[in-house]
């Protein structure tokens, strides 16, 4: 299937899942208010059960603009569930996704809409430097989405998709706690939908700044990657085993990094990600045997 030329969207819906983003949300909502896009559009904030003042912040913005509404997305926890619920109540025929703790450049929505004119779904670029302290930037390699070059998948926090394509594949898999954007992009491509890239649709992305947060995020990321080994690869191969052995060897060789404040983040990220990768493969294998595993084969 080749992406058919699209007319301009009748309406664009920006769907934003939030959870305890009270501190960062005002800056993100302010950046949304500054968008240069002049077509008809709305913002749907899907509150995934926040226990701080996130909902109050969103509702105060909703009261001051006619284009923002807040929905209760607490019934099922997880970013994917919140995104899916937000998409289901949104009015737009083009759905754009961002997160509550980042900041958008003014041209973000314009650039996604332009790229979507010739594609079924579109990924945008991440700027990981602007909002991240220098010490945290050095804890990990730059994510692929920070490049201006075309990427293999569209990041969930900077993503646009036509509603018909989103609904045709069932949206985000809510059983995945991480890597749900990689999974969705893969399923769309398997169905013949074409992905575009919008390097000027930039999201200022916050990297984790504490070792605890880095470990938690790396574990979840590794777990999602481990699940994808089964979902889209059919299970571990010798290449998987070699990759895992290489990860473990890297960790062992660099144990002295623990003594360096600047470098210990590298070790924490690698160790947590590797453990998550193992857990992800194991849980996906176990759940597949019981019929509850994530992935289209279990849907």
pLDDT of residue 215: 83
Within 10 A of 102 (CB to CB), how many other CB atoms are there? 21
Q: Do 270 and 291 have their domain in common? A: yes
How far apart are the C-alpha atoms of 247 and 238, rounded to whole Å?
Answer: 14
Per-residue pLDDT band at 299 (split at 50, 70, 90): very low
pLDDT of residue 146: 65
Residue 202: closest CA among 116, 110, 294, 292 = 110
Q: Which residues contact 269 (CB under 8 A, 6 or more apart)?
A: 139, 140, 214, 215, 218
Which SS3 state, helix, strand or coil, does residue 226 take?
A: helix
Residues 98 and 157 sit within 8 Å (Cβ to Cβ): yes
pLDDT higher at 68 or 256: 68
Which of 182, 204, 226 is a domain's end point?
Answer: 204
Tell how strand 68-72 and strand 158-162 pair up. unpaired
2: in domain: no
Band (141; pLDDT cuts 50, 70, 90): low
Q: Are 102 and 203 a contacting pair, CB within 8 Å? A: yes
Q: Quick check: 73 pLDDT over 50? A: yes
Tell me whether residue 5 is in a domain: no
How many C-beta atoms lie closer than 10 Å to residue 35's C-beta?
Answer: 18
Determine the number of helices (DSSP H) and then strands (DSSP E) in the chain.
Answer: 10, 8
How many C-beta neighbours within 10 Å does residue 7 have? 7
Same domain? For 81 and 184 the reply is yes
> Which of 179 and 51 is assigned the larger pLDDT?
51
Number of domains in the chain: 2
* Ranges 22-26, 31-35, 84-88, 235-239: which has the least confidence: 235-239
pLDDT at position 241 is 87
- Domain annotation covers residue 3: no
**Based on the domain organization, do 71 and 175 belong to the same domain?**
yes
Q: How far apart are CA 184 and CA 228, in angstroms?
A: 11
Give 143's DSSP letter. Answer: P
Q: How far apart are CA 177 and CA 221, in angstroms?
A: 8
Say what the pTM is.
0.83
Residues spanned by the domain of 167: 12-204
Per-residue DSSP letters for 3-19?
PPP-PPPS-EEEEEEES
DSSP 241-290: HHHHHHHHHHHHHTGGGGG-TTTHHHHHHHHHHHHHHHHHHHHHHHHHHH
162 and 18 belong to one structural domain:
yes
Q: Tell me: the pLDDT tens digits for 209-218?
A: 778 877 887 7
Question: At residue 1, does pLDDT exceed 60?
Answer: no
Task: Report the percent of the chain where pLDDT is more than 90.
Answer: 55
Query: Strand (E) positions, the chain?
Result: 12-18, 41-47, 68-72, 94-98, 103-104, 121-127, 158-162, 195-204
Res 3: pLDDT: 56
Residue 276 falls inside a structural domain: yes
For 205, phi then psi, to 5°, come to -105, 135
Most confident of 167-171, 172-176, 243-247, 266-270: 167-171
């Amino acid at each position: 299937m080749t992406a058919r030329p699209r007319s301009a969207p009748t309406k664009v819906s920006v769907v934003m899942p939030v959870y305890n983003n009270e501190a960062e949300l005002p800056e993100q909502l302010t950046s949304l208010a500054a968008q240069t896009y002049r077509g008809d559009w709305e913002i749907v904030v899907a509150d995934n059960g926040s226990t701080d003042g996130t909902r109050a912040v969103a509702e105060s913005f909703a009261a001051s603009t006619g284009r923002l509404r807040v929905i209760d997305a607490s019934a099922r926890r997880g970013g994917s569930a919140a995104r899916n619920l937000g998409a289901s109540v949104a009015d737009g025929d083009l759905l754009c996704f961002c997160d509550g703790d980042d900041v958008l450049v003014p041209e973000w929505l314009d650039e996604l809409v332009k790229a979507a004119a010739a594609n079924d779904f579109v990924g945008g670029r991440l700027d990981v430097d602007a909002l991240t302290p220098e010490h945290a930037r050095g804890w990990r390699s730059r994510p692929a989405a920070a490049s201006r070059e075309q990427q293999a998948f569209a990041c969930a926090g900077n993503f646009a998709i036509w509603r018909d394509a989103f609904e045709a594949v069932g949206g985000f898999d809510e059983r995945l706690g991480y890597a749900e954007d990689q999974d969705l992009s893969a399923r769309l491509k398997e169905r013949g939908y074409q992905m575009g890239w919008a390097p000027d649709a930039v999201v200022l992305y916050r990297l984790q700044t504490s070792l605890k947060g880095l470990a938690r995020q790396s574990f979840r990321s590794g777990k999602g990657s481990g699940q994808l080994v089964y979902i889209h690869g059919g299970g571990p191969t010798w290449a998987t085993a070699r990759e895992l052995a290489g990860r473990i060897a890297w960790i062992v060789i660099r144990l002295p990094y623990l003594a360096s404040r600047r470098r210990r983040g590298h070790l924490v990220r690698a160790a947590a990600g590797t453990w998550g990768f193992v857990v992800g493969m194991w849980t996906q294998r176990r759940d597949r045997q019981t019929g509850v595993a994530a992935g289209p084969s279990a849907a």
